[in-house]
Amino acid sequence: MSISAALPTFVITLREGVEAALVVGIVLACLKKAQQSQLNSWVYAGVGAGIGASALVGLLFSWIIPVISNANPEYAPVIKPLMEGIFSAIAIVMLSWMLIWMTQQAKHLKADIEGTLTNTLQHNQAAGWGVFSLIFIAVLREGFETVIFIAANFQQGLFPALGAVFGLVGAVLIGVMLFKWGVKFNIRRFFQVMGVLLLLIVAGLVVSALKHFDAAVAAFASIDPASESLCFYREQFVRNPSCILGPRVWDTSQILPDNRFPGIILKALFGYRQNLFLVQAIAYVVFLVTIGSVYFRSLGWGQKMSATVQKTASSQQD
């Protein structure tokens, strides 16, 4: 396990953590404005409970995954990659949805939180629990996405955990700089850059998920001869090590191996593989085109580009 295993978890935890830090900062600012600072302890309790619950979910996954994998030793070569593929698919859906949703809701985030908090404070007896629930859900949601990503890669050990810890520390520092020290920080540009980086990471997860499913089908076909037809690319399997991914697009093992720097960094962050197959390449491009276009439209880049083109065209006519 190299330090490259910490990079994806660091990036995702930093981005998701900053989202949670924004919610916490907005709530604290609203409580101060409403002269309800006595409820700050409920905010901190919600943060601690959310982090603790996320860690508990992570420990639960780390216990369940080996149990399921070892439940039937004969099919262990099938179960492990199959579970990796399933968790990868879940992580792809969750991270993609959260990326687009957060971008679309960013303009209204402060107003929505203030409205929810105002309604909560009107119920004096339950105000503390209402604030706690708001913060707890925000932190748990971001933490759960990180846990799912780690589970998708079966990343256990020191380096992925350190990546998550440093990402969390970075998110806390950004939150403190914004709301405590009043440091001017272009949070919009931060989310744009981190969003593009997260988009590429999730696209790499698509490549990994297909590789896991390919390994699971190949293992199952080897164990059960009656299911050999599932491995429709089996005739070329010896020459071209793919079961359901089609022909190999490239083999860059001699030029840029994915187990040595810088290939290992590209693999950890962007899903680079020294052996890439046709189905993986198509899925990678389709994901970037579809989800990427939705993401960039949510940023308003399409409107800005159209306005720029129209402005350029009109200036040329003049």
> What amino acid is encoded at 171 in this protein?
A
DSSP structural state of residue 260: S
Query: Sorting pLDDT into bands at 50, 70 and 90, what band is 210?
Result: very high
Cα–Cα distance measured from residue 201 to residue 277, given in angstroms and rounded to the nearest whole number: 18
Quick check: helix, strand or coil at residue 180?
Answer: coil
Nearest Cα residue to 147 out of 160, 166, 132: 160
3-class secondary-structure state, position 250: strand
Contact status, residue 12 vs residue 167, Cβ threshold 8 Å: yes
pLDDT at 46: 92
Residue 245, both tokens: 């991914």
pLDDT value, residue 107: 67
Give the model's confidence band at 3: pLDDT under 50 very low, under 70 low, under 90 confident, else very high: low
The pLDDT of residue 100 is above 70 = yes
Which one-letter amino acid corresponds to residue 288?
Answer: L
Convert the pLDDT of each residue in 113-150 to its tens digit. Answer: 778 788 877 766 678 888 898 899 888 888 888 787 77
For residue 90, list its beta bridge partners: none
The end-to-end CA distance of the chain, in Å, is 61
CA angle 307, 198, 65 (to 5 degrees): 155
316's CB contacts (< 8 A; 6+ apart) are none
More confident residue, 201 or 271: 201
pLDDT, tens only, 179-208: 777 677 777 788 888 888 888 888 988 998
Reported pTM: 0.78
Name residue, tokens 């990796």: 84
pLDDT at 8: 79
The better pLDDT of the pair 63, 82 is held by: 82
pLDDT for residue 79: 83
> Which pLDDT score, from 0 to 100, does residue 280 have?
93
Q: Residue 248: beta bridge partners?
A: 277
Residue 316 has pLDDT above 80, yes or no: no
Phi, psi of 308 (to 5 degrees): -65, -45
CA 131/CA 121 separation, integer angstroms:
8
Q: Which of 199-213, 228-242, 266-280 has the lowest mean pLDDT?
A: 228-242
pLDDT of residue 221: 80
Residue 228 is predicted with a pLDDT of 67
